[in-house]
Chain A
């Protein structure tokens, strides 16, 4: 089974900050990596797929990078609506989610 490890688990930041979340796969998943945003009590929302492709309607301040086993999600200028929990997910072999990164207000 492919394991996904995110870091950090929690990230404290201010509006306007540039933030980066890292996701590592236990084996190569090529570019079969997606990123989701989840707010309390809500279902996850797809932000990025195939490591770096922005889902329709997602603001351009979100970007993804990486291939193989190392991936990043960057928010270029954090907005109030972006405080949430972010998950990576591999879909190279079935599905596996990372454990999540909570972005909280500093």
Chain B
């Protein structure tokens, strides 16, 4: 059974940093592209970042380019999102998602990040 479990969320001050993790199980992690998607409270979904299975390609939404960095450790079956220079508008639930045939078909339960002083 595919499982994705995000962790690392919490309360952080504006300008601070946070590193999110996504632990994957139930599939051969290195074979799949992965994404991060977020959802601000009461708002819609926003795609943030993509990473290929072999880590050869990484892409970012303009809203986080230069501040966020996606990475993966295939030996540890883990996906990461390093978030720097955090702003109040980064407050959201952050989801990792496994991509199958170009689309996120499996999602984690999400981890809440709150940026506030």
Contacts and interface: CB of A to CB of B under 8 A. Distances in A.
B29 interface: no
A97 B107 contact: no
A96 to B, nearest CB: 7
Contact of A87 (B35, B44, B62, B108): B44
B44 A98 contact: yes
B110 A43 contact: yes
B95 interface: yes
Contacts, number: 42
A46 B44 contact: no
Interface string A46-65: 10010000010000000000
Interface residues of B, number: 19
B104 interface: yes
Interface in A8-36: 32, 34, 36
A89 B102 CA distance: 11
A49 B104 CA distance: 11
A38 to B, nearest CB: 8
B47 A43 contact: no
B104 to A, nearest CB: 7
B50 A97 contact: no
Interface string B46-85: 1100100000000101100000000000000000000000
Interface of B: 35, 44-47, 50, 59, 61-62, 95, 101-105, 107-110
